[in-house]
């Protein structure tokens, strides 16, 4: 009347059975674990705060440039020229004639 068949994984080792069980648990968790989309865990950037920061940085840069320009226009600067060229090249008029 009833014919006994072999179970589907009866010849498989314990490792194969454990792997199939783990895959089933993972698939079930993905399907039924969370209804709806997953919650976001990352911080969402605030464009308003980014813009305020960019404006503040721009204003600070402009202030420093105005200060530098004021110094360059009004103060007397002492400049000392230092020759750092170690190899002196004679001007063309004093160079040796080409053979």
Per-residue pLDDT of 34-70, as tens digits, reads 666 666 677 788 899 999 999 999 999 999 999 999 9
Q: Which pair of structure tokens corresponds to residue 20?
A: 């199939």
DSSP state of 8: T
**Whether pTM exceeds 0.75:** no
96 has pLDDT over 80: no
User: 41 — phi, psi (to 5°)?
Assistant: -105, -15
Half-sphere exposure of 50 (CA within 13 A, CB side): 4
Residue 23 — very low, low, confident or very high, per pLDDT cuts 50/70/90? confident
Indicate the range of 31-35, 45-49, 72-76, 79-83 predicted with least confidence.
31-35
């Amino acid at each position: 009347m009833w014919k006994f068949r072999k179970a589907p994984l009866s010849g498989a080792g314990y490792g194969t059975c454990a792997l199939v069980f783990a895959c089933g648990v993972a698939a079930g968790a993905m399907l039924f674990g969370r209804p709806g989309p997953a919650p976001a865990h990352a911080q969402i950037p605030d464009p308003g705060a980014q813009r305020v920061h960019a404006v503040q940085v721009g204003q600070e840069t402009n202030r420093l440039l105005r200060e530098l320009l004021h110094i360059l226009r009004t103060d007397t600067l002492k400049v000392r020229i230092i020759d750092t060229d170690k190899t002196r090249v004679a001007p063309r008029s004093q160079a040796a004639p080409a053979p």
